Chains A and B, each alone.
Chain A
Amino acid sequence: IIGGNDAAEHTIPWQALINVGSSRGGGMIIADRWILTAAHVVVLNGQVQTPEALFVYLGVTDVHQIIENLSLNVTAVHVHSEYNNPNNLNFDHDIALIKLKDPITFQAAIMPLCLPSEDDTYDTGMMGMVSGFGITDKGNQRRFLTNKLKYVHVPVVEQKKCSISLKGKPSSRTPRLTNNMFCAGTPEGGKDSCNGDSGSGFTLQSENGRFWAAGIVSWGLGCGQKGTYGFYTKVANYVDWINKIMREN
């Protein structure tokens, strides 16, 4: 997270830390046995990782805590069937669900995030909050890997501006923008998600004050640079898919 703050305990209780191999990612609790994350977090080199290869931790705000926390048992990984990203340039349908063996025991540090409801909207400029254990900064250009859970508030950007921000970049090396995505951030940069935050939630607050999962940290050109934005999977497009997978499994 670039330009953010440490998250105190219990403030982002849906945050999951996911280790796959040597890489670090995030996810969010949406039900007592289900973690929502990005497909590219659980697909490495075109291979969907086995449940045994995933280490999932909940209720932590410092990575050191995983030393005394056991990983949860994962029983299944469901990647969206249309996700196909062999060359890391196609993040369309970048969404996946992880099924846990045992139901989560909810408590102050471990709480679910709401899924989008029908009357939730993505209003341009609305401040969202993105969190994760990814790379951070220290207020200067230099990057660090943090062990603290961080968060930053960034606004939703108009879809057209997201597209414009990618103009002029060589398409052979720039991921495609689709309507299954949206972007967020500020033109001046400095506030963004970054590597290691993938799969974490970009949340908005509905009128009754509840946080809902608007996006999944997916991709971006660099992190927090001027004129660039973070791109997020638009969760509202996948509510039926999410419910279908949970219902059928």
Chain B
Amino acid sequence: CVPLLDSGQIHSPQCPQLYPVNLQKQWEISVPDGFQINLTFTHVDIKSSITVLHDEKVLGKFCGNENSADGRHPGYQPILSPGSRLTLKIQLSDYNPDRNQNVGFSAQYQAIDIDECSAPEPEDGSGPLCSQICLNTLGSYLCACHHGYELRSDERTCILSCVGGVFDELEGHLMSPGYPNPSPDALSCQYIISVESGFTVSLNFSDKFHIESVDTEEGPNCLYHWLEVIIPDRNPMKLCGGTSPGLINTNSNIVKLGYNIDNQGQSNGWSLEYSTHRVTCPVPGEVAKGRVTPSLTEYFYRDYIFVRCDEGYKLMMNGAEIMGFSTMCQSNGEWHLPLPECHIIDCGEPDPLLNGGVNFLSGFQNQYLSVVQYHCNEPFYSPYGGNNVSLTCEADRQWRSNHDVILRPACLPVCGRPMKQIENHFQR
């Protein structure tokens, strides 16, 4: 009997050769607790018989092979053990060794997790595995309790206790202890929903809502039973009566709920779904000569916006140029930075031209799309053909000509042409 892994194969000696005469053999398959064994025969050809047992209980007895008319072949459907052990036993029978033509059997097995939580209740009347919540795990299971209760040391049953439950998931489900059953007496429960700043919580009560109240002329009064909703910077609300409060937007990332029941009267309880959504920031304004992206109808916490200036304009913030701009919507609903401005760029003074000059044709203060024109003084000439070269202040703050070859205007001298003639001597 060799301990086997949680899956494998098993077969009679020498299979698929003929198995030895007078064979009587037994196999034990065991897997960890919390697992069942799924056995599938891949080949049966036995003159005597093979029996599959679990704790002495026969699960099946087979013989012959898939072609024999009088045999009992197991077919190819799996046999599932109820527990973590399985026995296979070959029996001797009126067996005639002279005529042995059988090759035995081969089978595959697989350990399968037992879903204890979906098993029917034990027959011993001990009740369900878990009194409230059952969570199946590989090879085992866990019990848990609704909010308002704690798991007892037996790891199966729950005891009332509902103080200090903190919910930090972005959505969740709360209810009064035992809901939808009436709430137990003398109860003081506290629920705290605390999510990341930048998210606000909304409470959505189900229609089925009942907290005992005392009717007065001003309406239901929550004297002895109440559910108090506490939102920072707002007056606490006490809820009671038979009408569900429906949806409550708290605009806060922290909400405390206090559920109090005295030892008289009865409240059938309440349940709610809470959800969160990100804080919104105001839609950013326009930036003249610039674009804000992305352009949305709403902006939420952690959203970013970027500002790019139109061509020929530069980003300015607090009087200084910046290379790029982005800002994030903060948890307090405000943008992290104020929007920048877009100022027109300029190319600076055009380079002076030796033996030439420059004058402005259009534009303003060397700004974007201003046009200047260079010319060469006689007897210098422009190597680029024609005597006037126009440059435009481009978006990259360079003075550029529409003749790409012109990087820098230049004036070349005409050879042999002094700028001053030798005076004529008049005497003859």
- State yes or no: do A and B come from one complex: yes
| Contacts from A to B (Cβ < 8 Å) | 5, 7-14, 30, 105-108, 111-115, 129, 151, 203, 205-206, 209-212
Are B422 and A8 within 8 A (Cβ)? yes
Residues of B within 8 A of A12 (CB): 418, 422
Residue in B413, B422, B425 whose beta carbon sits within 8 Å of that of A111 in the complex: B413
Which of B379, B411, B416, B419 has the most chain A CB within a 10 Å cutoff?
B416
Main secondary structure of the interface of B (DSSP, over half): loop
Given the interface pairs A106-B354, A106-B355, the reply to whether A8 lies near B420 with Cβ below 8 Å is: yes
**Beyond the given A10-B418, A111-B413, A111-B418, could you list 4 further A-B residue pairs with CB under 8 A, ordered by the A residue number?**
A10-B419, A14-B415, A106-B355, A211-B416
Residue in A11, A105, A107, A129 whose beta carbon sits within 8 Å of that of B420 in the complex: A11
Given the interface pairs A7-B422, A106-B355, the reply to whether A203 lies near B416 with Cβ below 8 Å is: yes
Are B412 and A114 within 8 A (Cβ)? no
| Interface residue ranges of B382-428 to A (CB < 8 Å) | 411-423, 425
Write the chain B residue with the least CB distance to A9.
B420
Residue in A7, A8, A205, A210 whose beta carbon sits within 8 Å of that of B414 in the complex: A210
Given the interface pairs A8-B422, A11-B421, A11-B422, the reply to whether A112 lies near B415 with Cβ below 8 Å is: yes
Write the chain A residue with the least CB distance to B415.
A114
Q: Is B62 positioned at the interface, with any CB of A under 8 Å from its CB? A: no
Residues of B within 8 A of A151 (CB): 422
Write the chain A residue with the least CB distance to B423.
A8
Q: Is B301 positioned at the interface, with any CB of A under 8 Å from its CB? A: no
How far in angstroms is the closest Cβ of chain B from A39?
A: 22
CA distance A30 to B415 in the complex (A): 8
Q: Is B380 positioned at the interface, with any CB of A under 8 Å from its CB? A: yes
CA distance A8 to B412 in the complex (A): 23
Residue in A11, A206, A212 whose beta carbon sits within 8 Å of that of B418 in the complex: A11
Given the interface pairs A5-B425, A8-B423, the reply to whether A106 lies near B413 with Cβ below 8 Å is: yes
- Complex A-B: 30 CB contacts under 8 Å: A7-B422, A8-B420, A8-B423, A10-B418, A10-B419, A10-B420, A11-B420, A11-B421, A11-B422, A12-B418, A12-B422, A13-B418, A106-B380, A106-B411, A106-B413, A107-B354, A107-B355, A108-B419, A108-B420, A111-B413, A111-B417, A111-B419, A112-B416, A114-B415, A114-B416, A115-B415, A205-B416, A209-B417, A210-B417, A212-B416
Residues of B within 8 A of A212 (CB): 415-416
Residues of B within 8 A of A10 (CB): 418-420
Residues of B within 8 A of A106 (CB): 354-355, 380, 411-413
Residues of A within 8 A of B415 (CB): 14, 30, 111-115, 210-212
Are B416 and A113 within 8 A (Cβ)? yes
Residues of B within 8 A of A112 (CB): 413, 415-416
Write the chain B residue with the least CB distance to A212.
B416
Main secondary structure of the interface of A (DSSP, over half): loop
How far in angstroms is the closest Cβ of chain B from A93?
A: 23
How far in angstroms is the closest Cβ of chain B from A235?
A: 12
CA distance A211 to B413 in the complex (A): 13
Residues of B within 8 A of A13 (CB): 418-419
B332-355 toward A: CB 8 Å interface, digit per residue (1/0)?
000000000000000000000011
Are A210 and B416 within 8 A (Cβ)? yes
Residues of B within 8 A of A105 (CB): 354
Residues of B within 8 A of A30 (CB): 415
Which of A12, A30, A111 has the most chain B CB within a 10 Å cutoff?
A111
Residues of B within 8 A of A115 (CB): 415
CA distance A9 to B379 in the complex (A): 16
CA distance A13 to B380 in the complex (A): 13
How far in angstroms is the closest Cβ of chain A from B79?
A: 97
Residues of B within 8 A of A9 (CB): 420
CA distance A127 to B207 in the complex (A): 120
| Interface residue ranges of B32-82 to A (CB < 8 Å) | none
Residues of A within 8 A of B420 (CB): 8-11, 108
Residues of B within 8 A of A108 (CB): 419-420
Are B417 and A211 within 8 A (Cβ)? yes
5 cross-chain pairs, A with B, having the tightest CB-CB distances, nearest first: A210-B416, A114-B415, A211-B416, A114-B416, A10-B420
CA distance A111 to B416 in the complex (A): 8
CA distance A9 to B414 in the complex (A): 18
CA distance A112 to B414 in the complex (A): 7
How far in angstroms is the closest Cβ of chain B from A236?
A: 14
How far in angstroms is the closest Cβ of chain B from A210?
A: 4
B131-164 toward A: CB 8 Å interface, digit per residue (1/0)?
0000000000000000000000000000000000
CA distance A55 to B414 in the complex (A): 26
Given the interface pairs A5-B425, A111-B413, the reply to whether A211 lies near B354 with Cβ below 8 Å is: no
Residues of A within 8 A of B419 (CB): 10, 13, 108, 111
Write the chain B residue with the least CB distance to A5.
B425
How far in angstroms is the closest Cβ of chain A from B379?
A: 8
Residues of A within 8 A of B418 (CB): 10-13, 111, 211
Residues of B within 8 A of A210 (CB): 414-417
CA distance A184 to B252 in the complex (A): 106
How far in angstroms is the closest Cβ of chain A from B194?
A: 75
CA distance A209 to B378 in the complex (A): 14
Residues of A within 8 A of B422 (CB): 5, 7-8, 11-12, 129, 151
Residues of A within 8 A of B421 (CB): 11
CA distance A71 to B355 in the complex (A): 22
Residues of A within 8 A of B414 (CB): 210
How far in angstroms is the closest Cβ of chain A from B378?
A: 11
How far in angstroms is the closest Cβ of chain A from B354?
A: 6
CA distance A108 to B377 in the complex (A): 10
Write the chain A residue with the least CB distance to B354.
A105
CA distance A14 to B421 in the complex (A): 13
Residues of A within 8 A of B423 (CB): 8
Residues of B within 8 A of A206 (CB): 416
Which of A7, A13, A105 has the most chain B CB within a 10 Å cutoff?
A13
Residues of A within 8 A of B411 (CB): 106
CA distance A151 to B422 in the complex (A): 10
